[in-house]
Structure 1
Amino acid sequence: MTTDRRTRAVDEIRTAHLFDMVADLDPRLDFGGGPLGRRVLFGAGGGTFHGPRLRGTVLPGGGDWALFRPDGVMALDVRLTLRTDDDELLYMTYSGRWVTPPDLKADMADPVERHRIDPARYYFRTNPLFETGSKRYAWMNDLVCVGSGYLVDGGIAYRISQVL
């Protein structure tokens, strides 16, 4: 194996907790099967977020325009509006992947059981980005984040960390 001499050692990627978020979901809207798969809208009906540097609410009106691909993977396309507790607005977008092993598909389809499944048994990762005109939160405009999602009763939750 040859090593390309143009590469160099860089610091390992480190993260720091930014916030935890729970989004309440509206009844889903199923657009049906299309050329790329089955498109479904999981609308956000509200929610909360809290972390060491900010906290607030998830405003209704956003959502996940998810695509269920033919291979069974769900590709995420999320847009949300967050309102901080000091009344500033943050636009949050992310894509990601939710991979459910075949042996969990039946339990994940059961609305009573799905939020009880250990999130370590499925892969649900996101890459949040933020946009705001707020001077107080302008530091968020340049963050790259990673998130780990999981189901909760009545909605979905995430642990969001910024990449340092």
Structure 2
Amino acid sequence: MPPSLLENLPDALASAKTRPLFVMRLSSRMQVIGPTPGYVRRVGAVFGGVFEGERLSGEVLDSGNDWQTVRSDSAVTLDVRLVLKTDGEAMIGMTYRGIRHGPPDVLARLDRGEAVDPASYYFRIASFFETAAPKYDWLNRLLAVGIGHRSADGPIYSLFELL
């Protein structure tokens, strides 16, 4: 019998390491397109926000959007495009895909804008960045993962650079 793939796995493949990147809060308003063939489409208009971390901080410009798909299993997938502007005026494009799901009663409370415990549902994202700013060129070559929480006026995320 061949050896298991898990045997003798190099340390670099045995676990994921992360480093805090920033915390981001978005201000958004949901626009519901409605039931389309296969799912319900919603679009979140992002009209600003802030992000703060040890290596970069600044504001989220009001040009972003969040195309959401509400699937038949009630999970919500996200496809987001944002523009970040650092405190030093550097412009950074940010894209992320994500998924949010949980118990039906928790999701219904979220949809009504009620406060819920972020540990009561699953909300994760995977982010990429692009910038022409030499100071932040390192962002062009990393993947960040995030944990999200939805409040009545928009989401808040803790993002981590995946090392």
Please report the TM-score for the alignment, with normalisation by the length of structure 1. Answer: 0.90
In structure 1, runs of 5+ residues without a counterpart are none
Residue of structure 2 equivalent to 1:8: 9
Report the RMSD for the aligned CA atoms in angstroms: 1.8
Q: Please tell me whether residue 92 in structure 1 is matched to residue 111 in structure 2.
A: no
SS at match of 1:125: strand
Q: What is the number of equivalent residue pairs in this alignment?
A: 160
Match of 1:23 among 10, 19, 26: 26
TM superposition shift of 1:16: 0.6
Residue 9 of structure 2 aligns with an amino acid whose one-letter code is: R
Residue of structure 2 equivalent to 1:39: 41
Residue of structure 2 equivalent to 1:55: 57
Q: Distance in 2 between matches of 1:67 and 1:3?
A: 41
Q: Distance in 2 between matches of 1:47 and 1:76?
A: 18
In structure 2, runs of 5+ residues without a counterpart are none
Residue 118 of structure 1 aligns with an amino acid whose one-letter code is: D
1:131-146 correspondence runs (5 A): 131-146=130-145
TM superposition shift of 1:104: 1.4
Q: Distance in 1 between matches of 2:77 and 2:154?
A: 18
Residue 13 of structure 1 aligns with an amino acid whose one-letter code is: A
Deviant stretches of 4+, over 4 Å: 4-7
